Amino acid sequence: DAEITQSPRHKITETGRQVTLACHQTWNHNNMFWYRQDLGHGLRLIHYSYGVHDTNKGEVSDGYSVSRSNTEDLPLTLESAASSQTSVYFCASSDDRGSETQYFGPGTRLLVL
Amino acid sequence: GEDVEQSLFLSVREGDSSVINCTYTDSSSTYLYWYKQEPGAGLQLLTYIFSNMDMKQDQRLTVLLNKKDKHLSLRIADTQTGDSAIYFCAERHSSASKIIFGSGTRLSIRP
């Protein structure tokens, strides 16, 4: 069955380190998204991509970067982790047809000490 | 700008109906969604409605859309303990693939 996976599921890192969160989908979806979820803020869009080599900034993109070298993967990099980036991160994907529902991964819980 | 608002908490008695409300600001929204998030999991789509519809029913779920007031609601009939979760309202404009999410409503069920 097609799916979307994230790794690692849990990560503890130190302030200033570079961290990369992986997202992999097997639906062959063009669109991929990264969100962070924090209490009181719901889901906030970090970066998104509409296809290979396409990347766009979301509402909270500072301190994060993404690259899209193939259809299946959209890794999220924290260039220099900060305590404010402690959060739960969700990856999602969608296709270009119909209701364009987004399918979500299980999430990565990141703690920056 | 785009904004989606929901109340943060709702508590209902088991067996009663739950009604979760949402308001949005983008009058050009084409699709409106309800997602469910169980503890420790990602979001799962429950249902969606096109902006040209007033109501959609799917088993115990009823979605009502008042486009004039930009108000969306989700009614869950005969609420069960398994319905405990956070429910997110979301909207999308037809010209964009981005979905704007509300902050989520935490539904708790009391015996």
Tell me: the pLDDT tens digits for A61-83? 999 999 999 999 999 999 999 99
Residue of chain A minimizing CA distance to B7: A40
CB pairs under 8 A between A and B: 48
DSSP string, A62-94: TTEEE--SSSSB--EEESS--GGG-EEEEEEEE
Per the CB < 8 Å rule, is B98 touching A45? yes
Q: In Å, how far is A11's CA from the nearest CA of chain B? A: 15
At B19-60, the pLDDT tens digits run 999 999 887 778 899 999 998 888 999 999 988 889 999 999
Per the CB < 8 Å rule, is A101 touching B45? yes
Per the CB < 8 Å rule, is A102 touching B45? yes
Q: Quick one: how many helices (H) and strands (E) in chain B?
A: 0, 11
The two tokens of residue B73 are 């609601």
User: At A41, is the secondary structure helix, strand, or coil?
Assistant: coil
Assign A21 a pLDDT band (cuts: 50, 70, 90). very high
Per the CB < 8 Å rule, is B99 touching A105? no
- pLDDT at B9 > cutoff 80: yes
Per the CB < 8 Å rule, is B42 touching A105? yes
The two tokens of residue A37 are 């979820």
- pLDDT at B100 > cutoff 70: yes
Q: Is the dihedral of CA B43, B47, B52, B56 positive or negative?
A: negative
- pLDDT at A108 > cutoff 90: yes
Mean pLDDT, range A33-37, rounded to an integer: 95
B101 touches chain A (CB under 8 A): yes
Q: In Å, how far is A44's CA from the nearest CA of chain B? A: 8
The answer for residues whose C-beta is within 8 angstroms of residue A82's C-beta and 6 or more apart is A15, A63, A112
- pLDDT at A36 > cutoff 60: yes
Q: Which of residues 59-98 of B touch A (CB under 8 A)?
A: 88, 92, 97-98
Residue B99: its pLDDT value, please?
84
